[in-house]
Amino acid sequence: MIKEAIIPLAGLGTRLLPFSKVIPKELLPLGNTTILEVILKECFEAGIKKIILVISNRKKIITNYFSTDKYLENNLKKKNSSLLKSIRHLRYYKKKITYVYQNSPKGLGDALYSCRNKIKGNFFLLVLPDDIIKSNNCSKDIIAINKKYHCSVIASKKVKKSELSRYGIFKVSSKNKNLFNIQKVVEKPKVYRELSNFAIIGRYILNKNIFTAIKNIKFGTGGEKQLTDAINFLLIKNEKFKGYIFKGKYLDCGTMSGYLNSLKYNL
C-alpha cells in the first residue's frame, strides 16, 4: 500500500505575483482553509502517512505555519477563544511532515531527486499543489489503480488545443474508458503532431526507479531537470505508465485567473 507522498513547494510562484512575493502561493486562502491544507487533506484521506514537503529557504515560513505557536495559543486560551481550534489541528499535520530543501529552482525532476533518500516504498504519490481536484479524491483513485495494475499512474484531463502548451501532453495508446497507456510525454509542446489532447494534471504514482532516471537525464531548458524527461527515459526502458482521466472538478490554482476563479468554490 502506498503510504508516502511528496509535495514540491520550492518554486518561485511567479504566476501568482505579487501575492507570492511574501506569501508562498500554497498558503493562499481557499474558502476557510489554505491551498496546501486542501492538498494535505486529500493525501491523508487517501491513506498517506508520511508527507515530504520540498521547500526552500525563501519559503521557510511554511514550517512556521505548521509549528506550534505557544504565545498565540496561550493568548487564545486565556481569552477562552473558540479560535484556538482554528490552529490546533495543524499539530496533526506537523507530526506527519518531513521537510527537504531545494534552494535553487532547478525543476520538478530536481525537486523529486532531493527526496530520493526519504522514500522507502516501491511506489509513492506525487501531488502538485497548483492543481486542486474538487468533489473526488484523485489520489485515492490512482493509488487503487496502482494496486490493480502494479504500475505508475498519472492523472489526466482533456484540454483545449489553445491550452496544450501550458501542460505536459501525452502520446497515448489503447484507451479504454477512463484509462490509457502512456507512450510518451512532451512538456509544454510547441508542435502537437502525434500527441493527444490529454494533459498531465498534478497527481502521479511513481516507481522509486524514477530517481535513477532523473539522475540519468540532462538539465534541459532553463537549466531545469524535467520530470517528463525522466518519465520518457523509463518508457523507453518499457516501464508501464497508465493515464487516468479523473472524475471531479479541476481548479488550476497555479495561475492568477485560475486562483481567483477557485475562490468561488466551497472546499
Residues 52-91 that bind ligand G1P (CB under 6 A): none
3-class state of residue 117 by DSSP: coil
Residues 206-225 that bind ligand G1P (CB under 6 A): none
DSSP type of residue 150? -
* Stretch in the footprint of ligand G1P (CB under 6 A) among 40-48, 126-134, 142-150, 232-240: 126-134
Residues 89-108 that bind ligand G1P (CB under 6 A): 108
Nearest to 204 by CA among 140, 144, 142: 142
3-class state of residue 120 by DSSP: coil
> Could you tell me the three cell numbers for 4?
508516502
Does residue number 27 form part of the binding site for ligand G1P (CB under 6 A)? Answer: no
Contacts of 128 by beta carbon, 8 Å cutoff, 6+ apart: 7, 8, 108, 202, 203, 254
Q: How far apart are CA 8 and CA 26, in angstroms?
A: 10
227 touches 202 (CB < 8 A): no
Residues 190-209 that bind ligand G1P (CB under 6 A): 199-202
Minimum separation from the CB atom of position 118 to ligand G1P (A): 21
Among residues 69 and 194, whose Cβ is nearest to ligand G1P? Answer: 194
Minimum separation from the CB atom of position 130 to ligand G1P (A): 5
Which residues form the interface with ligand G1P (CB under 6 A)?
A: 108, 128, 130-131, 167-168, 187, 199-202, 228, 254
